[in-house]
């Protein structure tokens, strides 16, 4: 099974007039079964941006799973709406629960909302979401792939700033690890990266998506646009794909492969040359 992890689209700040069409074409060419959209579909949650986001979502293949990002709440110049009904426009456009679950073949995926109107940049989870993650991911066959999707970063790193990591992330992560999570997908910081996350006595695959289509890349991805293809077969393979402005198409940037071991996952040293973890 192939999943496309797309995050931080930011309609209203699109980097290149060709890039949205190129992304849709690239996802279709990969025979994607599930398109996972990890938040920040808009820049300022304007109606015109939501119209563009709705059109984009309608063109994605397979099952489409969407969660909100902090840019999808009402902007700051609607302070009352931002606090009381922050995601009304998001819910009208997406028409799905804020916390989403998917059971498809041997995959169990849960996406948790961390976007709230009371914060200007960061996010937060609650205890009920941690319990939901543990209950949902902990059920099913032991061979199933268990995937946690969030918008904000799930742990601190050298690349995170104040507000990048949602409040109570450690509780959500602990619950998911206790339930046997295999892969964590996050975004928000506009930097693509794949590696291993060791916590709670278990090692899981973690993939952070860059900004798929906006002009807001950060760190080494400043001025670049990336999304990821996650392939689930006998192991986990994550292909980071970058937009090539010369050709107007996406191409492979890095390929990372992982295999199961006792206590979680490890880098697959037997993978083809060029496979790496970063």
Decide if 166 is inside a domain.
Answer: yes
Residue 276 inside a domain? The answer is no
User: How many structural domains comprise the chain?
Assistant: 1
* Nearest 10 degrees: Cα torsion 51, 57, 59, 60: 170
> d(Cα 260, Cα 1) in Å, to the nearest integer?
17
Q: Does residue 274 carry a pLDDT above 80?
A: no
Instruction: Specify burial of residue 248 (Cβ count, 10 A radius: 0-12, 13-18, 19+).
Output: middle
For the segment 191-221, what is each residue's pLDDT rounded down to a tens digit?
999 999 999 889 999 999 999 999 998 888 9
Which residues lie below 8 Å from residue 248, measured CB to CB, with a gap of 6+? 16, 18, 22
pTM, to two decimals? 0.93
Residue 234 scores a pLDDT above 90:
no
Whether residue 254 is contained in a domain is answered as yes
**Any domain includes 272:** no
Q: How high does pLDDT run on average in the chain?
A: 92
User: What average pLDDT does this structure show over 243-252?
Assistant: 97
CATH number of 162's domain: 3.60.21.10
Mean pLDDT of 238-261: 97
Please state whether beta strands 193-199 and 63-66 pair in parallel, antiparallel, or not at all (unpaired): unpaired
CA 8 – CA 194 distance, rounded (Å): 17
Residue 120 has pLDDT above 70, yes or no: no
Model confidence at 277: pLDDT above 50: no
pLDDT digits (tens, 9 = 90+) for 49-106: 999 999 999 999 999 999 999 999 998 888 888 888 999 999 999 989 999 999 998 9
**What integer pLDDT is reported at residue 276 of this predicted model?**
38
Q: What confidence score (pLDDT) does residue 46 get?
A: 96
pLDDT band for position 159 (cuts 50, 70, 90): confident
274 within a domain of the structure (yes/no): no
Answer yes or no: is 77 within a domain: yes
pLDDT of res. 275: 39
| Residue 250 located in a structural domain | yes
Query: Looking at per-residue confidence, does 270 or 211 come out higher?
Result: 211
Is residue 278 pLDDT above 80, yes or no?
no
pLDDT confidence of residue 99: 98
% of the chain surpassing 70 pLDDT: 96
Q: What is the domain range of residue 50?
A: 2-267
> Is residue 223 in some structural domain?
yes
Q: CB of 175 within 8 A of CB of 131? A: yes
């Amino acid at each position: 099974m192939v999943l496309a992890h797309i995050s931080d689209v930011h309609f209203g700040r699109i980097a290149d007039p060709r890039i949205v069409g190129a992304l849709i074409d690239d996802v279709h060419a990969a025979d994607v079964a599930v398109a996972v959209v990890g938040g920040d579909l808009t820049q300022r949650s304007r109606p015109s941006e939501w119209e563009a986001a709705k059109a984009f979502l309608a063109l994605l293949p397979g099952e489409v799973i969407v969660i909100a990002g902090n840019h999808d709440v009402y902007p700051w110049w609607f302070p009352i709406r931002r606090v009381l009904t922050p995601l009304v426009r998001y819910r009208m456009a997406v028409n799905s629960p804020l916390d989403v679950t998917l059971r498809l073949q041997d995959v169990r995926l849960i996406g948790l909302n961390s976007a709230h109107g009371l914060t200007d940049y960061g996010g937060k989870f609650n205890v009920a979401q941690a319990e939901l993650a543990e209950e949902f991911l902990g059920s099913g066959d032991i061979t199933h792939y268990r995937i946690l999707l969030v918008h904000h970063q799930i742990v601190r790193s050298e690349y995170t700033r104040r507000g990048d990591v949602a409040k109570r992330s450690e509780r959500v992560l602990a619950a998911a690890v206790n339930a046997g999570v295999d892969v964590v997908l996050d975004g928000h910081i506009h930097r693509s990266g794949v590696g291993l996350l060791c916590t709670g006595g278990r090692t899981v695959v973690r993939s952070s998506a860059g900004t798929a289509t906006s002009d807001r890349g950060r760190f080494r991805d400043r001025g670049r646009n990336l999304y990821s293809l996650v392939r689930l077969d006998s192991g986990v393979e994550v292909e980071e794909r970058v937009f090539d402005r010369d050709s107007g198409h996406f191409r492979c940037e890095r390929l990372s492969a992982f295999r199961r071991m006792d206590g979680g996952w490890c880098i697959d040293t037997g993978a083809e040359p060029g496979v790496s973890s970063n």
